[in-house]
Amino acid sequence: MDQTVSKSAHGLNSNTLLICFSHLRWDFVYQRPQHLMTRAAHDFGVIYFEEPIFEKTPAPSLRHTTITSRLTVITPVLAAGTRPDQADLIQAALLEDLISETDHDQLVTWYYTPMALRFSDFLRSDICVYDCMDELSAFKNAPTEIALLEKLLFARADVVFTGGQSLYEAKRGQHHFMHAFPSSIDTAHFQQARRTQEDPKDQSAIPRPRVGYFGVIDERLDADLLGQTANTMPDVQFVVIGPVVKIDPATLPAGPNIRWLGQKSYEDLPKYLAGWDAGWMPFAVNAATRFISPTKTPEFLAAGLPVVSTPIVDVVRTYGQRGLVQIAEADTMVDALKDAIRRPYEDLGKVDAFLSRSSWDSTWRMMRGLIRPAPVARPAVAGAPHYV
């Protein structure tokens, strides 16, 4: 396999193939990769290459799932018991066949996880993109080699995007062409929650008032804070939507006013939010949350909900300092939630004016303008432009 990377002096055309390597499954919580790759498919053919699944199978294969005529999800299916080193070799061979069999003039490689370099470093791409949406090395059970592989990916990438401003500030010395693209918003989708509508069946019997959270439930959620707050506010119902990953569900707090409703589709989220009185982001303040820029922040706001959050850096700087989100520590959380329930937004003009500055459509357009092939390595750019 050729280790070199070709660079074309020509612009990307509609027969460009973009292959996206992601640690998040397409049918998991709908977030940044899905939003961007759906929009990328309007311009290019897109392959969303997932991490492998391990099953009883006679031979390794690639499972194809068609999302649109221009967007396909590819899932490697490997035999149960395959060793990691074997998995890398098998995936490299399957990937090479997939690329060679897919008609394209140019190739864009787009990484969400540096771990994918273990089997894809042979690819000859016209441009390499690293969309660094999180500090993955700080997450629970992170592979030990991820930091080293990220350094290699920085060396290979033509352009790097970050999922928030604080992450940009932490990484900007590691690449010469880096841009911050914080969490964006599909405003029209979440504004559906502002309309009075029938509650979903599994929420309809839950009394009001309701405080809600939606998203991945893992080490970033402060389960102790959730339990203590619910116990202190017995007349308020706490609704939690999302899949539980990396942590034992048995360790999550239980109580008569804590309602774990499980994962819901992206399409149905506005129906649930329409029945909430406040949005809550009880994130733990730890290494895993140091650089996060939660997509749910603008989504809560678009839904018309008052929002309370623990002091996550990007939430404080982007929303708290503008008076769009209440920021509360553990000892002031109950008062903040009571205030949010008591005083919902009456004038959403300020919220809508802020949200009008950002959308996934505009984010993709700006990214699209930056992923242009170059005939030579890009020069270092002092104070590289970035977006906030």
HSE of 219, CA atoms in CB hemisphere, 13 A: 12
Q: State yes or no: pLDDT of 67 exceeds 70.
A: yes
Q: Could you list the residue range(s) of the whole structural domain that residue 69 is in?
A: 16-184+360-370
192 & 175 share domain: no
Compute the distance between CA of residue 314 and CA of residue 237 in angstroms, rounded to an integer.
27
Compute the distance between CA of residue 252 and CA of residue 219 in angstroms, rounded to an integer.
11
Angle between helices 333-342 and 223-232 (to 10 degrees): 60
200 & 347 share domain: yes
User: Collapsing DSSP states into helix, strand and coil, what is residue 361?
Assistant: helix
Tokens 């290699």 belong to residue: 152
pLDDT at 133: 93
76, 10, 294, 336: which is closest to 166 by C-alpha? 294
Compute the distance between CA of residue 114 and CA of residue 136 in angstroms, rounded to an integer.
9
Amino acid at 275: G
HSE of 248, CA atoms in CB hemisphere, 13 A: 2
pLDDT > 70 in the chain, percent? 93
pLDDT at 7: 42
1, 39, 4, 3: which is closest to 371 by C-alpha? 39
Whether 282 is in a domain gets the answer: yes
pLDDT at 354: 94
Whether 381 is in a domain gets the answer: no
78 & 104 share domain: yes
Whether 293 is in a domain gets the answer: yes
Q: State yes or no: pLDDT of 383 exceeds 50.
A: no
192 & 69 share domain: no
| pLDDT, tens only, 9-46 | 347 888 999 999 999 999 999 999 999 999 999 999 99
Q: State yes or no: pLDDT of 352 exceeds 50.
A: yes
311 & 366 share domain: no
175 & 119 share domain: yes
Arithmetic mean of pLDDT over the chain? 91
Whether 317 is in a domain gets the answer: yes
Burial track 353-373 (b if 16+ CB lie within 10 A, e otherwise): ebbeebbbeebbeebbebbeb
115 & 204 share domain: no
Flag whether the pTM goes above 0.75.
yes
162 & 192 share domain: no
pLDDT at 373: 59
177 & 191 share domain: no
Whether 315 is in a domain gets the answer: yes
Whether 45 is in a domain gets the answer: yes
Whether 142 is in a domain gets the answer: yes
Q: How many domains in the chain?
A: 2
191 & 323 share domain: yes
- Residue 292 — φ and ψ, nearest 5°? -75, 150
138 & 251 share domain: no
203: part of which helix (H) or strand (E)? Answer: helix 201-204
